[in-house]
Structure 1
Amino acid sequence: MSGIHPFRVLRAKPLWIANGVITGVLALLFTVFYVGANVDPVDHMKNLPVGLVNADKGAAVGGKQVNLGAQISESITKSTVSGDKIDWKVMDEKQLTEELGKGKLYGALVVPADFTFSTVALTGAATAGTPARPTLTVLTNQSAGSVGSGLARTATTQAAESASLQVGRELTAQGGSGQAKLPAAARLLLADPAAVTVKDGHPLDSHSGLGLTAFYYALVLVVCGMLSANVISGQVDHALGYTHNDMGPLRLHRPLIRATRVQTLAISGTLMAGLSLLMGTLVMAGAVGLMGMDASHLPLLWLYSVCAIAVTGIGALTLLAVFGTPGMLVVTLVFIGMAVPTANATTPLQALPGFYRFLAEFEPLRQITGGIRAILYYDAQADAGLTRGWVMMAAGLVAAALFGFGVLGWYDRKGLHRIPAETKLETTAAPA
């Protein structure tokens, strides 16, 4: 024994400096990723996709065919009020239903078939009573993300109200002295003729978390893969005799079985793949069976869940094997720190700064969330995010294998073994 009291290590400056740098950088990075991505989504918003449907059939006015819906649509698409924040997608009602049902749109504005007829009727409402107002319908889409749907609703409502005032100014200018004969209520309506109503464009079941169950379910899959990788890495090292295993007051140790770094990663990856079957099953059973989450396509959901956990876990195991002890910090940043703000679940990608949109192209949580959302909300349609999810998971698995086995193979060839060969440690076969 050295005779030095253990608490003397607190006097060592390198201990404070090393841990201070690591924890400080971690705190700063998490702040930048989380707060920076969400501090001002309205200012960062660019090209948020919103549908615009003109179903107006027009009406004959003074022997001339008029279509106020077409005028409104043209005015909105050419308006510079919203700058490049909204990307108006002009389409018909069938296309709108399809796009909302795939999560391609965050909302929509619909001009009804009788808009011109109802609006023009206000100018001839000389009889008593209050004329009926034409209606512009704003559709939301919570399944595409609550924040994005809210941003689209605000922008679309403002566009609808502005269009109504513009139509009112035109009708007032055209009406001339004839408007004096209209009832007071009709004149007020004529100045702002359209009522704006808000409806849900793609309703979800009440057990869908207002469109967030897909994100939280995907987050559970990623966390399961990430944390189980840490557990499996430690347990494999213990089984091979490279590390001790503390169980409460007991310290367990097994005889050393020499294994190359490549062999160790292969063992860990195999264990992860096998246990992913168990974890994926329990995650789905807990979410759907115990908690009552609304879900369909259960066999597909189970398969996707298992694969997501396996790919995440193998990716995390690779980082742990390549970087060693700092690997857990790298894993945390890749799978949680940079992933959650760029998952396209709470804040849409179109409302993130450019750097975060770049991260979202390859961050695993975004890809997994897109696939889960397609399964849960969009009838497992391939182009609603499911195909991208499968492709990106496959690409991630290949990248992890090439990176992990490539780097670890280089370590082995350079003789950078975890325990140098000249170290005299007892080597025995594993007990049966």
Structure 2
Amino acid sequence: MQEIHPFRVLRAKPLWIANGVITGVLALLFTVFYVGASIDPVDHMEKLPVGLVNADKGADAGGKQVNLGGQITESIKKSTVNGGKIDWKVMDEKEMKDELGEGKLFGALVVPDDFTSSVTALADTSATGTPARPTLTVLTNQSAGSVGSSLARAATTQAAESASLQVGKELTAQNGAGQAKLPAAARVLLADPAAVTVKDGHPLDSHSGLGLTAFYYALVLVVCGMLSANVISGQVDHALGYTHNDMGPLRLHRPLIRATRVQTLAISSTLMVGLSLLMGTLVMAGAVGVMGMDAVHLPLLWLFSVCAIAVSGIGALSLLAVFGTPGMLVVTLVFIGMAVPTAGATTPIEALPSFYRFLAEFEPLRQITGGIRSILYYDAQGDAGLTRGWVMMAVGLVVAALFGFGMTGWYDRKGLHRVPAEKKPEETAVAV
């Protein structure tokens, strides 16, 4: 009998069709998730939170009390130029510093306490020399995300410059004939009285990756959980004798130990929890000890890392147990494909299309990134994302357990075992 050559399988249309559909859909989905989320953040931006602080004490001008800082902040807040893309939050300096230090603001605009007195001095014809130009300060916050901070900086700088020109226009009109008595330099300053400076509102340490170490650290945790789930699932199947284990040219096989699907998932999950202690320790040691990443609250960082890997891993194991071989594709889409664009670390959530904002509400990477960011950048404050991180990890663990053990238990009750039970000899005889 003539044997069929192995390469003959390449002629089989189902082989090409099945693999073409799977790989094609995967390529399309990754393109949509990654490129679609970041293709136009300015157009999709909506209500990006930016602080607006008026510290101006006002001054007497022409016999009446004037506060130009209040006029500027009120004008910016009521302005419709940005079309709702910026959510201007009027607050005092303490509130602004607190919210910058919790990652709730992407930037701020601060009017100094001497703004009115400095501006009115420009129109003083009796002054000798050129008065000092007042300054409007734009604060950035890279810890909340470099792209979001850049968007806030651009919008805030534009608002500050427009406000300066508007104030200059009003002062020029009010000064009238007196403007001719001013020196040429003073007249130029009067038309655009305020200088705009940019400062870092929440400085980070030098080894913080410009505010991106939290994202990459969280991504490592999720990837460790996802990939280790695939390894553990395969090794447990090998230990139970359900699959072969190829080690180079050698193929190893163990005797079959019958286990229900629920038992198999329980064994895999137990291994995941135990190995998460090792992986969490090594991730922190590699990032902080070997690479020198700036980090504080190390015990809390270690605990959060271990829990993040365990929860991600158990979630992946549940998907693998329920969906089988296609489960790895589902795991890849859930933990990487849909997660990275919606983590809020590269492009802020406020600058994503509505569909991605919906995904960001429950995607695990976003919750873990928020918790790590709080530990690394915001002194482990609960309001800065740590509380949400713990709560969402607990919810994720419960959902994964209910889904995984619920579905595998249903498979077991329906008799959908991985290896059908062998019939006894007498049952075979009756069947014949």
The TM-score, its normalising length taken from structure 2, stands at 0.97
Q: Report if aligned partners of 1:123, 1:190 keep a CA contact under 8 Å in 2.
A: yes
1:146 is matched with 146
Residues 145 and 125 from structure 1, CA distance in 2 versus in 1: closer, same or farther, beyond 3 angstroms?
farther
Take 2:368 and 2:395, find their aligned partners in 1: how far apart are those partners? 13
1:187-202 equivalences under 5 Å are 187-202=187-202
- Give the whole-Å Cα distance in 1 for the aligned partners of 2:383 and 2:93: 19
In the TM superposition, what is the alpha-carbon distance from 1:232 to its structure 2 partner? 0.1
- Residue 407 of structure 1 corresponds to which residue in structure 2? 407
SS at match of 2:242: coil
**8 Å Cα contact 2:48-2:152 kept in structure 1:** yes
Q: Give distance in 2, aligned partners of 1:122 and 1:62.
A: 14
List per-residue Cα deviations over 1:316-341 (Å, max 9, x = no partner). 00000000000000000000000000
Supply the AA of the counterpart residue of 2:211.
Answer: G
Q: Is the 8 A contact 1:140 1:153 kept in 2?
A: yes
Aligned to 1:233: 233
**Hey, what's the Cα distance between the residues in 1 that align with 2:151 and 2:143?**
14
Residues in 1 aligned to 2:226 and 2:423: alpha-carbon distance in whole angstroms: 33
- The residue identity in structure 2 corresponding to 1:120 is T
The answer (yes or no) to whether the contact 1:134–1:195 under 8 Å persists in 2 is yes
Name the CA shift for 1:278/1:169 in 2 (closer, same or farther; >3 Å). same
State the distance in 1 between where 2:368 and 2:422 align. 46
CA deviation profile, 1:385-416 (whole Å, cap 9, x unmatched): 00000000000000000000100000000000
Deviation at 1:129, TM superposition (A): 3.3
Helix, strand or coil at the partner of 2:172: helix
Q: Hey, what does 2:291 align to over in structure 1?
A: 291
Q: Which amino acid is 2:91 matched to?
A: M
Paired residues of 2:125 and 2:178 also in contact (CA < 8 A): no
2:75 maps to amino acid = S
Q: Is the 8 A contact 1:240 1:256 kept in 2?
A: yes
Partner residue of 2:83? 83
Aligned to 1:180: 180
Counterpart residue type for residue 202 of structure 2: H
Tell me the equivalent position of 2:61.
61
User: Aligned residue for 1:220?
Assistant: 220
Instruction: Output the CA distance in 1 between the equivalents of 2:325 and 2:242.
Output: 14
Q: CA RMSD in A?
A: 1.0
Q: Show the counterpart of 1:134.
A: 134
1:304-360 deviation line (CA, Å, top 9, x unaligned): 000000000000000000000000000000000000000010100000000000000
Q: How does 1:33-432 map to 2 (within 5 A)?
A: 33-127=33-127, 129-422=129-422
Determine the C-alpha separation between the residues in 2 that align with 1:339 and 1:141. 23
Task: Provide the rounded CA distance (Å) in 1 between the counterparts of 2:74 and 2:373.
Answer: 33
Q: For 2:24 and 2:188, how far apart are their aligned partners in 1?
A: 61
Supply the distance in 2 between the matched residues of 1:256 and 1:63 (Cα, whole angstroms).
Answer: 96
Closer/same/farther in 2, CA of residues 393 and 2 from structure 1, 3 Å limit? farther
Flag structure 2 segments of 5+ consecutive residues without an equivalent.
425-432
Structure 2 counterpart of 1:117, one-letter code: S
Instruction: Answer yes or no: is the 8 Å Cα contact 1:221–1:305 preserved in 2.
Output: yes
Q: Residue 427 of structure 1 corresponds to which residue in structure 2? A: none
Amino acid at match of 1:276: S
Aligned-pair distance for 1:63? 1.4
The Cα offsets for residues 65-114 of structure 1, whole Å up to 9 and x where unpaired, read as: 00000000110000000011000010000000100000000000000000
How far apart are 1:126 and its partner, in Å? 4.7
Deviations 1:135-193 (A, max 9, x none): 00000000000000000000000000000000001100100000000000000000000
How far did 1:245 drift? Answer: 0.1
Q: For 1:423 and 1:162, how far apart are their aligned partners in 2?
A: 84
In the TM superposition, what is the alpha-carbon distance from 1:422 to its structure 2 partner? 2.2
Name the amino acid aligned to 1:79: S
| 1:428 paired residue number | none
CA-CA distance at 1:131 after TM superposition: 2.3
- Which secondary structure does the structure 2 equivalent of 1:206 belong to? coil
Q: Residue deviations 1:28-64, cap 9 Å, x none? A: 0000000000000000000000000000000011110
* Counterpart code for 1:4: I
User: Which letter maps to 1:207?
Assistant: H
Determine the C-alpha separation between the residues in 1 that align with 2:423 and 2:147: 58
Alpha-carbon distance in structure 2 between the residues aligned to 1:149 and 1:2: 69
- Give secondary structure in 2 for the equivalent of 1:202: coil
In the alignment, structure 1 segments of 5+ residues that lack a partner are 425-432
Superposed CA offset, 1:256-277 (max 9, x none): 0000000000000000000000
One-letter identity of the residue aligned with 2:286: G
CA contact (8 A) 1:125 1:186 kept: no
8 Å CA contact 1:218–1:372 kept in 2: the answer is: yes
What whole-Å deviation, never above 9, does each CA across 1:215-272 have from its counterpart, x for those lacking one? 0000000000000000000000000000000000000000000000000000000000
Work out whether residues 374 and 381 of structure 2, in 8 Å CA contact, stay in contact via their aligned partners in 1. Answer: yes
Give 2:429's aligned residue.
Answer: none
Q: State how far apart, in whole Å, the 2-side matches of 1:126 and 1:339 are.
A: 63
Letter matched to residue 317 of structure 2: L
Could you tell me how far apart the structure 2 residues matched to 1:125 and 1:354 are?
55
Matched residue of 1:197: which SS? strand
The alpha-carbon deviation at position 132 of structure 1 amounts to: 1.1
| Residue aligned with 2:207, SS | helix
Q: Is the 8 A contact 1:143 1:202 kept in 2?
A: yes
Instruction: Tell me if structure 2 keeps the 8 A contact 1:126–1:181.
Output: no
8 Å Cα contact 2:125/2:181 also seen in 1: no
- State the Cα distance separating 1:128 from its structure 2 match: 5.1
TM-score, length-scaled by structure 1: 0.97
